[in-house]
Structure 1
Amino acid sequence: MREAELPLALSVGDPSGVGPEISIAAWQARDSAAVPPFYLLADPALIAARAHRLGANVAIVETTPAEATRVFHRALPVVPLAARFTDSPGRPDAVNAAGTIEAIDRAVADCLGGRAAAIVTCPIAKKPLYDAGFGFPGHTEYLAHLASLHTGIEVMPVMLLAGPELRTVPVTIHIALAAVPKALTTELIVATGRITATDLASRFGIARPRLAIAGLNPHAGEGGAMGAEDERIIRPAIDMLRAQGIDAFGPLPADTLFHARARAGYDVAICMYHDQALIPAKALAFDEAVNVTLGLPFIRTSPDHGTAFDIAGKGIARADSLIAALRLARRLADTGTKAVAA
């Protein structure tokens, strides 16, 4: 099968969350929302039970990645896991951790093994995984670990939030705000910017990406009057990125970085901490923003929301962000294929 015809591998995430139902809803929207062919790595019995619970009239076929595209138009292709799930919507259970992790493992193996064009992941919850002995901070770090195991090359993952009007990248991610100034280094900003520029060129097809670098402090420090980090850490990083031929500029005050006229001047905003990047991304496109992991030897996207245990199993979860993640994964895979061919 040609790479352009390969299906997407969709891991179910935490089965007690909304992953199963948004996967079902995405398949149901395959024609109206132009959802590309995918297969779901999950426990088929749980998917059938969740569909029944929701009153969804869905044909489910147990299949292989090689057959998924062929059956996608008539049935939801489910590639079975060895692990089985406890069906408890809204009540996370560490018993399900083995299957949650297996689905991620299988998706990565399929993508690197040439059986899938890209990976899309439904949300996971950290606590049940930690309770089962999971030793990674989160999804992204585990994917980087798997990539390193498969390729023998250490990789640095970078989180990109992509919406119709804005792309943002947080340099530091899931750490306390008080810890950000100590974690922020010139080297980390340079590495993040370089990976971002490389992937925007190779996967998004942006020939010369423009990187707007946000400041850390109010008014980007205002020449040191409101903090020294902007001049001491961020500005040298921008100089180094520019010396490497990357179109980076700043540091820019974050409070004027995200209005429409400012957004027209860059392709991505490199932000210094989690909320600086995610608040504008979600404010502009809460149901359409997609989480993309850059720096990996495969394409990975995911919905920009969590497990939503509070609404799991109620049939009210929206699949918009998952559909956007599937469509973007397909577009990135196709762009990468064309770039390689050229």
Structure 2
Amino acid sequence: MPKFNVIVMGASSGGIQAIRQVLSGLPNRLNAAVFVVQHLSPDSINLLPDILNRQCPVTVRAAEDGMSIQNGQIHLAPPDRHLLIDADQMHLSRGPRENRVRPAIDPLFRSAALSHGRRVIGVILSGSLDDGSSGLLSIKKAGGRTIVQDPETAITPDMPSNALRYQTPDHCVPADEIGPLLGRLLNDSQDSGNASGLTPRMRSELRKETAVLMRQSGDIKTAEHLGELVAASCPECGGPLWEMTDDVPRFRCHTGHAYTAQHLVAGLEEAEEQSLWVALRVMEERLRLLKRLAENDAERGFTRAAELASEKAAESEQHVNRLRKMLGDIPE
């Protein structure tokens, strides 16, 4: 049976320390290709390879589009690009954001499960919310191994805790034990992984989702195939959302934005706040105009008109103050 030769790793808040601990524990002669997604700001300067190379026994570099996959290499997703892999190459995509981030963890994990199946080891480290939970489950179903950092040892335990909600991983250990564990798994020729549980339908869905991120497809028919229409709108583009047929509650719009339920709630909360700030701006503009009309009418001797404008301004000011309190812009 084949040895594992692909390791995919995902982290977010608090993840750099965890990634450093994992990579520093890897063997010098690494019989695997390693791919890492750490949530990064789109406009950040990618200094992570330099930081990790100070302690990692294997050279760490930024992934490049079209680069061949080889054992003994560690590649990091660059800012503002999804990292996906196929049978022998890595691909970078500026496709739709998933879980409100790019790079996202789930796309890398899904593409690894699709292309390498039982030869994949998936690792979830410290981070907020639940990016990676769905992708890790895909790896498990494809027969690969799954490892989750012990949430009690994570700086931000949400991602490991949520991954544990949806599956029982093969291993749940502190970050500093994951590197040596990976070395043992890679050297154990008898350990050939789990039985693959990918049905033809699951494999088809993984292909379709990967194609969306590679901008090879993405339309209403694709979204309809992946799930059922729900009464909610995409926080990023305002389009309709389909709930996907997955063990992890997920949603996708036809332009390609995708969310777990937790990320969708967070995205809708953010969209709601943005809408309220827009409403506040419009209301304040109306208030200023009413006050100006009242002043102009008073100066011209239009007493009744000035009184009406002042009354409307007073009422509008009450609404403005209520909305400001709701937004936390002024104290109670």
Q: TM tier, shorter chain?
A: 0.3 to 0.5
Task: For CA contacts below 8 A with separation 6 or more, give which structure has more relative contact order.
Answer: 1
Q: TM-score, normalised by structure 1?
A: 0.34
Query: Between Structure 1 and Structure 2, whose CA radius of gyration is higher?
Result: 2
Q: TM-score, normalised by structure 2?
A: 0.35
